[in-house]
Structure 1
Amino acid sequence: MTTASANTQASTDTATEPATPDIPARFLLRWMFSFLRPVRWQVFLACCYLAAFCGVEVLTVNQGGKAVDDLKALQLAHADGTSTVASFWDYLVTSDPASVRLRHTVIGFGLLTACLLMLRYLTTVSRSQMSMQMVYYIREAVYDKLQRVGFGFHDAVSSGQLINRALSDLQNVRIFVETAVLLTLEIVLIVGGYIVLILTLSPWVALLALLPLPVWTWYILRFSKRIQPAAKAVMEAEDKNVAIITENIAGVHVVKAFATEAQEIAKYNANADGFFDRVRGRIRLFANFQPIIRTIATASYLLLFFAAGVLIIQGSLTVGSLLILGGAMSQILSRLQQVSVINEQYQNAMVSARRLHEVLFAPPTIPQKPGAQPLPPGPGAVKFDHVSFAYGKGKHVLHDISFDVPGGSLVAIVGPTGAGKTTLVNLISRFYDPQEGRVLIDGVDVRDATIESLRLQVSFVFQETYLFSDTVGGNIAYGRPNLSEAEIEAAARLSQAHDFITALPLGYKTMLGERGSSLSGGQRQRLAIARAVVTNPRVLILDDATAAVDPETEDLIRRQMRQAMKGRTTFIIAHRISTVKSADLVIVIEQGRITQSGTHDVLMAQDGHYREIAAVQLHGDDVARDAEGQTLSHMDRVKGHAPVAHPPTLGT
């Protein structure tokens, strides 16, 4: 099982806005390190190379000190006359003990240096491989979750926030996990190795040099409590920046149309100023932190040289030992100063981990029941049984909706804007679950069927058409990418899209711009209709699908789609009477309730919303002006009474 599936298995959809949970830091640490499981062998290899590198580095420093001592011994041999070597070349061939010892030490130093360089290269390569593979698995988990998460989650969290979490927060977690494993191991091995080396030279010097380290540790822990709120404030401000940029790129046409460039720039600048102030506050904290840490490090360094100087004067230490002590202490302090780097990354990662955790472990609201079965074959009969629905804890959008539609019927849903028409059809495909009642397809509660089988049998043409940066044919075959060219063309002809597609430079192989920006609104809508019908769904839902096309094209599409609608249940949300008057059942929804139902002829014979909008469309604006302020809405007429005596059923 991949990391993506492991992290998304527990939940498939969410609905409410995720609140930042009070998750213990210990739990978050364990969770972050769980991303190392898929790359554990790369981690093991990188740690082995790093351990070998640290060991060779300590030996190299020790070898350098021995070389200094051997040089000193050779100098003394010249001074007392025991060595008669006259030139540099004599040093390479002479059998003089001091020269031989120096020669062996230098050769060993060269071999250790070459080994050090090779191990550094291997460590860097293995670390990069581990890092990139870990990034892949984390990104896979986040992207997998974003694909599976429910509409409710996307309704509550802006796209800018999700983009920032999938990029910046992901990188913060990745950098910390990588650093925490490898840099911490390097610090432990280097510091431990050099402390052992110093202890072998002089235990008292080592103890004096390490005396300030407890103060160092205490101050780092104290600083950690102050930096986390500052890091969180910076990330929240960055979320707003990304959200503003994302919205303005997506809505650039609106910005240009209303000439609000200066207003949008001012809004972004104001948020950028707030972001800058928060970043500056975090920098100020670290600016106060670094000098104190370096002062403690300098104190350790001064104590070392003071003690070593006294011992050299007393003759207890050699010059080579002093060089080893200096090199060792320099490496110890440089590594210990990197603890502040780990600490900064830790604070950022803890904030980012909480934000990523909200995405990857969002509570499910559209769960798939254990043992759910694929939707069984059927004609596509749809039944709403006393359904009520509300978004979150707000006001109900739908109230006690009941109707029964036989398979293969054409159902039109009309009503004023905001009445709940789109919400109603969204329940058929389980984009949301009702708080009360049931939605059934062919006698099966949609909550008892697998989500995949349900959504393969229910196709949508949404109000807002979204096309991908792909070919025209690829967009039509999006639901079933293995379709033949003939099937794609048949769907395009059905939606009256074939003619304009063949006029494109490469026909069906023409690449579309982002969101289909190279096409007109009507052309995009026709491609969306083709995409819906090409999947051969049992239930077809057209959410005001012909609103963006002219009446002539709408009439052509409607005539051609009669064949496509034959044998499948079709729901049409529309405002044009010409679109709905041929429907088998027309349902009028006002304020979340069914106020009328029946055929076009039946509703035209009744007072109510349907006849009012029909009068406006058939007789023009004069009727609307005459009726304005004089005719009560049908919702007002039925207020205080049951909306319908019995659930509307086709044919009754």
Structure 2
Amino acid sequence: MQAEAYLRAKKLLAAGRTPLLARALGVIEALLILLLLILAALFVGLMASRGEVSISSEAAATLPTWTLSRQVGDASGYKEYSDSGLFPLIGSNLYSPNPVHRLGARLLNGLTRVLPPLRNNIGALTTLLALGLALILLLSLVTQARRSVTATIVADLATNLRNQIHRQMYRLGQSSLPTEGVGPVVNIWTREVNDIRDALIVDFHVIPGMIVLGVGLAAIALSTSPILTTFLASLGLLVYLISRTMNRDARTAYDVALRDASVQLCLLHEDLGLLRTVRTYGVEDYDRQRFDDHLERYRTADVRRMLAHHNLTTASALLYGAALATALGLLGYNVLVKDRISIATMLILIASLAGLAFPILQWVKMRQAVRHANRSAAEIFEFLARSPELHQHVGAEFLPPLRENIVLDDVTLESRSGRLLLDHVSLEIPAGGRTVVVGVDEDSKLALACLIPRLIDPQAGRVLIDGRDLREMTLESVRAQAATVLQADLVFTDSILVNIGLGDPRNTLQRVIEAAKLSHAHYFIQDLPHGYDTVIGPLGHYLRPDEQLRIALARAFLHDPSILIVEELPTAVDDEVKLLLDDTLSRLSAGRTVLVIPHRLSTIRSADTVILLNNGRLEGVATPSKLQAESKLFRHILYTEFNEYATGDIEAGQVAG
């Protein structure tokens, strides 16, 4: 089984004895299970014989002296024994032509010397039950220890991989672009790592524990009856191969039904999304008919899928039934007619062969898990091997606060998927002013904003601050001069104190409160259940979008940047909140260069400069009034995206009079 990537991931396991300990515990667990099966076999043998056996007088002369006390009769050259515990298993196999049976009898004879209670029925019954209970207790302790050790080392490996992925995210620039998001990386970080983790858990369980268990069960079955074991095993393998061929059509039918059901479900989702269009054009009758048709097709396909899934066909049932009848008939014939095996032997043989299916199924499960893990490991290592897009040159200089301008010099930037976001853009953003970025494509606007704090680097061209190429500046000094307030990451799950202060010990509670007051957040924070200790974010206390924005603005104020990048709320807010947000932005803008991605017309009108982008290309840089007079595209965007009537922020009836 070729699984190079998975084997490479296994090499990241913590060095030391822990992996060996987990595998050793698996072997001990398998041996304990085998011992329990042997005890069960002895118990069945005890029940079947009832401690009674007849042995030839010649053979009885060589038996241990303690058997004399169990002799109850002597007839026709045979001596009869009763209440002799496990002695019937010894006496009937001590001179067996089967060497394995003779060896087992000698071992059992030695055991009766160590444990004299095995020489009578009550003593044997009590001893076997006590040993079984002790083995079960020991097995549970070993199983728990094995799982604990396995969980620890597997969790360590998963943590190691996740740490490497996290560090790689710092090195890669495109993952910082909000429009691209970190969805693919999160998928690698969770599902792919979990695939490797789950495969390792099965791996440690199967190798070598299940192998030892399988070999042991096969040895028990072969020692019981080599001929019957070989025949029954061959019969089982033959039935398995035939059933796989017979069920191929059923698997194909399941795949077809699953595909049909998925298509119809997509159409149903589409129908649900057409309600606005249906109401607008008044075609409710047609829509209901269309929906009912899709729903009926989905029901039919889903029924076919459920019937085909794990379906036992008539032919398969007959095959399994015939195989089972053949196996039981053969065993019954050898017990009732030929008298070659006893009922106890038959039960032990059935238990051994049936138990052998468990390690085989575990091995199949492991192979499937390793295949999934190998694909996942390959994706993880491909991600870790990507060349970092952000480099800090040796001898990089310190970037002082912005004083003159920000320049984009012939900048070209593509997304990781190859989409052109910025196409040979050259522009100048003067220091100390308020500049807005306007365009149809949100990705292009956000890409331009992310270039300034060097969250990403362009594929071509340069970004300069006061004539200094950002690639020649230290990353720390570049990001010290810029603060971003973007809608994709306004708040996170933690207390308000940490959301604003970011865990920096320099940001004391007093400083955080001052920042919150400046952003008009202090007043609603006081009304929260725990004030500044209230946990907010996706898993915490709910805040309105404008409240989240004010928290992020307070965080930006504590950063004290020379460049402030703000993305406005895309949702409408009432007039009172607008005034608070405008006042906050005005306070933060004092002495700083502000770049805004606007969602309000008033923000565009109050800007000093407007940057207009179209399909990644620069359409113009001018004052709002000049650009409105000269650019049809700008006027179109103002009407379609920022017109208060077009966006629905103002209803016609609101401005009457």
Same fold (TM over 0.5): yes
Q: 2:533 aligns with which of 509, 512, 534?
A: 509
Q: 1:77 aligns with which of 63, 68, 71?
A: 71
Corresponding residue for residue 330 of structure 1: 351
Corresponding residue for residue 547 of structure 2: 523
Q: Map 1:146-225 onto structure 2 (within 5 A).
A: 148=169, 150-151=174-175, 166=190, 174-183=197-206, 185-212=208-235, 214-215=237-238, 218=241
Corresponding residue for residue 110 of structure 2: none
Contact 1:521 1:548 in 2 (8 A): no
Please give the per-residue CA displacement for 1:429-483, whole angstroms capped at 9, x wherever unaligned.
4555434323345766556778788666543212456433443333323474873
Contact 1:161 1:243 in 2 (8 A): no
Greater CA drift, 490-499 or 397-406: 397-406
Aligned residue pairs, count = 570
The one-letter amino acid of 1:284's match is: N
Corresponding residue for residue 129 of structure 1: 148
The one-letter amino acid of 1:80's match is: D
Please give the per-residue CA displacement for 1:266-303, whole angstroms capped at 9, x wherever unaligned.
99999898777656544238998798678657755654
Q: Secondary structure in 2 aligned to 1:388?
A: strand
Corresponding residue for residue 632 of structure 1: none
Contact 2:484 2:564 in 1 (8 A): yes
Q: Map 1:529-568 onto structure 2 (within 5 A).
A: 529-537=553-561, 539-544=563-568, 554=578, 557-558=581-582, 560-561=584-585, 564-565=588-589
The one-letter amino acid of 2:128's match is: F
The one-letter amino acid of 1:490's match is: E
Q: 1:412 aligns with which of 435, 441, 444?
A: 435
Greater CA drift, 44-53 or 198-207: 198-207
Q: Report deviation, 1:229.
A: 9.0
Structure 2 CA distance for aligned equivalents of residues 269 and 323 of structure 1:
57
Q: Report deviation, 1:61.
A: 4.0
Q: Map 1:438-453 onto structure 2 (within 5 A).
A: 438-440=462-464
Corresponding residue for residue 472 of structure 1: 496
Q: Report deviation, 1:532.
A: 2.8
Q: Report deviation, 1:489.
A: 1.3
5+ residue gaps, structure 1, are 1-23, 89-96, 623-652
Q: Secondary structure in 1 aligned to 2:463?
A: strand
Change beyond 3 A, Cα 1:369–1:86: closer
Change beyond 3 A, Cα 1:572–1:532: same
Structure 1 CA distance for aligned equivalents of residues 475 and 314 of structure 2:
53
Contact 1:522 1:548 in 2 (8 A): no
Contact 2:23 2:205 in 1 (8 A): no
Q: Which has the higher contact order (CA 8 A, sep 6+)?
A: 1
Contact 1:368 1:451 in 2 (8 A): no
Answer yes or no: is 1:428 the counterpart of 2:452. Answer: yes
Corresponding residue for residue 311 of structure 2: 284
Corresponding residue for residue 49 of structure 1: 28
Structure 2 CA distance for aligned equivalents of residues 29 and 302 of structure 1:
46
Give the RMSD, CA atoms, in angstroms.
Answer: 5.8
Corresponding residue for residue 90 of structure 2: none
Greater CA drift, 235-244 or 295-304: 235-244
Structure 1 CA distance for aligned equivalents of residues 258 and 149 of structure 2:
26
Contact 2:445 2:597 in 1 (8 A): yes
Answer yes or no: is 1:378 the counterpart of 2:400. Answer: yes
Greater CA drift, 233-242 or 415-424: 233-242
Q: Report deviation, 1:543.
A: 1.8
Q: Secondary structure in 2 aligned to 1:109?
A: helix
The one-letter amino acid of 2:427's match is: F
Please give the per-residue CA displacement for 1:516-564, whole angstroms capped at 9, x wherever unaligned.
8743332222122223333334542112359755566555555555564
Q: Report deviation, 1:177.
A: 4.1
Please give the per-residue CA displacement for 1:61-105, whole angstroms capped at 9, x wherever unaligned.
4533664558123899334397898999xxxxxxxx998366775
Q: Report deviation, 1:485.
A: 0.9
Change beyond 3 A, Cα 1:439–1:501: same
Structure 2 CA distance for aligned equivalents of residues 229 and 30 of structure 1:
33
Structure 2 CA distance for aligned equivalents of residues 584 and 488 of structure 1:
31
Q: Report deviation, 1:112.
A: 3.3
Q: Map 1:354-373 onto structure 2 (within 5 A).
A: 354=375, 358=379, 361-362=382-383, 367-368=388-389
The one-letter amino acid of 2:556's match is: A
Corresponding residue for residue 411 of structure 2: 387
Q: Secondary structure in 2 aligned to 1:207?
A: helix
Structure 1 CA distance for aligned equivalents of residues 607 and 573 of structure 2:
20
Greater CA drift, 290-299 or 191-200: 290-299
Q: Report deviation, 1:484.
A: 1.5
Structure 2 CA distance for aligned equivalents of residues 527 and 235 of structure 1:
47
Normalising by structure 2, we get a TM-score of 0.65
Corresponding residue for residue 573 of structure 1: 597
Q: Report deviation, 1:47.
A: 1.1
Answer yes or no: is 1:339 the counterpart of 2:363. Answer: no
Q: 2:43 aligns with which of 60, 64, 67?
A: 64
Structure 2 CA distance for aligned equivalents of residues 342 and 237 of structure 1:
33
Which of 1 and 2 has greater Rg? 2
Contact 1:224 1:347 in 2 (8 A): no
The one-letter amino acid of 1:596's match is: G
The one-letter amino acid of 2:311's match is: R
Contact 2:5 2:377 in 1 (8 A): no
Contact 1:413 1:587 in 2 (8 A): yes
Structure 2 CA distance for aligned equivalents of residues 504 and 25 of structure 1:
57
Q: Secondary structure in 2 aligned to 1:283?
A: coil
Identity %: 20
Q: Map 1:239-254 onto structure 2 (within 5 A).
A: none
Structure 1 CA distance for aligned equivalents of residues 300 and 176 of structure 2:
32
Structure 1 CA distance for aligned equivalents of residues 499 and 216 of structure 2:
61
Q: Report deviation, 1:117.
A: 0.6
Change beyond 3 A, Cα 1:142–1:282: farther
Q: Map 1:101-140 onto structure 2 (within 5 A).
A: 105-106=124-125, 109-130=128-149, 132-133=151-152, 136-137=155-156, 140=159
Please give the per-residue CA displacement for 1:141-186, whole angstroms capped at 9, x wherever unaligned.
686648938549996799699679946x776665554345425645
Change beyond 3 A, Cα 1:412–1:224: farther
The one-letter amino acid of 1:283's match is: H
Structure 2 CA distance for aligned equivalents of residues 615 and 159 of structure 1:
32
Q: Report deviation, 1:215.
A: 3.1
Corresponding residue for residue 93 of structure 2: none
Answer yes or no: is 1:596 the counterpart of 2:575. Answer: no
Contact 1:466 1:516 in 2 (8 A): no
Q: Secondary structure in 2 aligned to 1:588?
A: strand
Corresponding residue for residue 15 of structure 1: none
Contact 2:261 2:301 in 1 (8 A): no
Contact 1:412 1:587 in 2 (8 A): yes
Q: Secondary structure in 1 aligned to 2:560?
A: coil
Q: Secondary structure in 2 aligned to 1:211?
A: helix
Q: Report deviation, 1:367.
A: 1.8
Structure 2 CA distance for aligned equivalents of residues 392 and 116 of structure 1:
58
Structure 2 CA distance for aligned equivalents of residues 139 and 237 of structure 1:
37
Structure 1 CA distance for aligned equivalents of residues 615 and 399 of structure 2:
35
